Amino acid sequence: MVSVADLLTDGRLPGNYFAQDLYVRGSTELGLLENRRGDRLLAIPDPLLQAIYSGLEKETGQASGLVLYNCGRWWGKNFYARFCEELADYYKQPLASLSMAEFLQSLQQCWKTHGWGQIHLDITYRDRGFLGVEIWHSPFTAAAPQGQKPSGDLERGILEIFFTQLTGRELRCAQTSCTAKGDDCNRFILGLDKRLAPVEGMVANGQAHQAIMQTLMQQG
Amino acid sequence: MTFKLDALFDSPDKQYLDASDLSTLSQYVSSIPERMAVYRTLRDQEIAIVQPIADALQQQAGHPEPLVERSVRNGLMVLRYAAMAMLLDDESFVEERLQGWLPEMVKAYETQAVDQQLFQLLHKQLGKVFSPAQLGLLKPSLEKAQSLMLNTRETVTLAGLL
């Protein structure tokens, strides 16, 4: 029998930890924004993002994507650790016993509340060993130089390391569509290195997300 | 905190509150004792109100225990947020806190059908505990929560990952 009293062991009913009006706070007398745990938050102006892209392009040229990708991995590693720590604290249980639904929904809410756009997981290709991620309204690729190549390198890095740590398997991430080249959102594919290898070439040839996925599926 | 009256308190740089603003404020203030009474009842009788619903969902409707447990959890959450929204006289509180969370949980655990029955039973239960006037205070936020939960139109689903 379901006992309501047992469901409410310590009277708590954890919900949306990252609800925006709860999560973002400020210590205005110090001039700081904070999250609900008192960790520092920072608002980055659009022109600064644009300046980073253009500065990198000017100083490192073709390597700028690689630099951003590595920054993304660095960021993602720390983001994953902090994200897990916050959730474990909030749910008062080790992360391993948190359900996947709560974990992933928290990730979506977290992403949104930080102003990084809307992140959605696409599990259509799960049986074939690929995980799709869509990011809508990304502020990062919105500030990136417009062109023919995907420019979500920062996000590619974050996602790669985040899901690598989550799944415990060395995953690679490739971007198949990008708002900076006129697509409706940023799409990423995560999978094992050797299975994902052909994607880079197809992206470089300007193939669309659907076509790339089709080819990947045919390869089995 | 979100609060319907925030708009009133936002405006000292514009002008003093006019008669109708002050009357809005005084209506709210005079409704507070009743709101607190309802809130206290919900708080103190949370288990007494919800346990019969859990029993009915499991015994009469015959839903499996894990599903009932999830649904009851949803119901408890809705009731808590609705209680707070009622205290604040601000049904958008329910929306802001539950949107992007509860509907997704409903989908992920596929409790729609059970939740639907849970809401019917909940309305019945609350009818036993509260007067029609008191129910009127709770109704806007409960309805908001209900439509939020049972109107899951977003296409993204996590159910397949579980």
Q: Which 8-state DSSP code applies to residue B59?
A: I
Q: Residue B70: what pLDDT?
A: 94
- CATH code (residue A98): 3.30.1380.20
**pLDDT given for residue A85 in this prediction:** 94
Cβ–Cβ gap B101/A15 under 8 Å: yes
Q: Going edge to edge, which strands form the sheet with A32-35? A: A24-27, A32-35, A40-41
Q: Which of B54, B100, B162 sits opposite A2 (nearest CB)?
A: B54
Among B72, B76, B96, beta carbon nearest to A19? B96
Domain ranges of chain B: 34-151
Per residue in A96-123, pLDDT (tens digit) is 888 888 999 999 999 999 999 999 998 8
When pLDDT is cut at 50, 70 and 90, the band that residue A218 belongs to is confident
Q: Which of B97, B105, B156 sits opposite A120 (nearest CB)?
A: B156
At residue A57 the predicted structure's pLDDT band, cuts being 50, 70 and 90, is very high
| Numbered residues of chain A with Cβ closer than 8 Å to any chain B Cβ | 1-5, 7-8, 13, 15-16, 19-22, 99-102, 104-105, 108-109, 112, 120-121, 123, 126
Beta bridge partners of A41: A33
Rounded (5°) CA angle B69-B72-B76: 135
- Choose from A1, A3, A4, A108 for mutation: most chain B CBs within 10 A: A4
In a domain, A36, yes or no: no
Answer whether residue A15 is part of any domain: no
Closest of A194, A186, A103 to residue A137, by C-alpha: A186
Q: Is B45 helix (H, G, I), strand (E, B) or coil?
A: coil
Q: CA-to-CA distance for B129 and B42, rounded, in angstroms?
A: 9
Q: What residue has token string 């995560």?
A: A190
Inside any domain, residue A144? yes
What tokens appear for B2 in the block?
């979100």
Query: What was the pLDDT predicted at A78?
Result: 96
Pair of tokens at residue A64: 């700028």
Residue A37 lies in a domain: no
Chains A, B: CB contacts under 8 A, how many? 86
Condensed to tens digits (0 to 9), the pLDDT of residues A163-184 reads: 999 999 999 999 999 999 999 9
CA B151 remoteness from chain centre: 15
CA distance B25 to chain A (A): 23
Choose which CATH entry (1.10.490.20, 1.10.3720.10, 3.90.1170.50, 2.120.10.30) describes domain B34-151: 1.10.490.20
Chain length of chain A? 220
Distance CA A46, CA A180 (A): 15
Q: Is B135 exposed, middle or buried (0-12, 13-18, 19+ CB in 10 A)?
A: middle
Q: Which two tokens stand for residue A205?
A: 């040839």
Residue A148 pLDDT greater than 90, yes or no = no
List the single residue in B65, B105, B160 with the smallest CB-CB distance to A2: B65
- On the CB side of A4, CA atoms within 13 Å amount to 21
Q: CB count, 10 Å around CB of A176?
A: 22
pLDDT at A26: 85
Q: Is residue A28 in some structural domain?
A: no
Q: Identify the domain containing residue A154 by its residue range.
A: 44-219
| Domain count for chain A | 1
Q: Which of A173, A165, A211, A175 is nearest to A192 (CA)?
A: A173
Structure token digits, residue A149? 């190549």
Statement: residue A79 has pLDDT above 80: yes
- In contact, B17 and B8? CB cutoff 8 Å: yes
Taking the Cβ of residue B78 and every Cβ of chain A, the question of whether any pair is shorter than 8 Å is answered with no
Name all contacts of B11-18 with Cβ < 8 Å and 24+ positions apart: none
**Complex-level ipTM:** 0.80
Three-state SS sequence of chain A: CCCHHHHCCCCCCCCCCCCHHHHEEEEHHHCEEEECCCCEECCCCHHHHHHHHHHHHHHHHHHHHHHHHHHHHHHHHHHHHHHHHHHHHHHCCCHHHCCHHHHHHHHHHHHHHCCCCEEEEECCCHHHCCEEEEEECCHHHHHCCCCCCCCCHHHHHHHHHHHHHHHCCCEEEEEEECHHHCCCCEEEEEEEHHHHHHHHHHHHCCCCHHHHHHHHHHHC
Residue A39 lies in a domain: no
- Pairwise CB contact (< 8 Å): A109 & B76: no
Under-50 pLDDT residues of chain B: 1-2, 154-162
Backbone angles phi, psi at A186, to 5 degrees: -90, 125
Q: Which range has the worst mean pLDDT, A72-76, A80-84, B38-42, B61-65?
A: B61-65
**What is the predicted pLDDT for the residue at B12?**
66
Distance from C-alpha of A23 to C-alpha of A36, rounded to nearest angstrom:
5
pLDDT of res. B155: 42
CA distance A67 to chain B (A): 32
What are the respective helix, strand and coil percentages of chain B, to the nearest 5? 75, 0, 25
Per the CB < 8 A criterion, the answer to whether B138 and B82 are in contact is yes
Q: Within an 8 Å CB–CB cutoff, is residue B51 touching chain A?
A: yes
Residue A203 lies in a domain: yes
Share of chain A above pLDDT 90, in %: 71
Q: Does residue A63 lie within any of the structural domains?
A: yes
Nearest to B100 by CA among A119, A132, A79, A187: A119
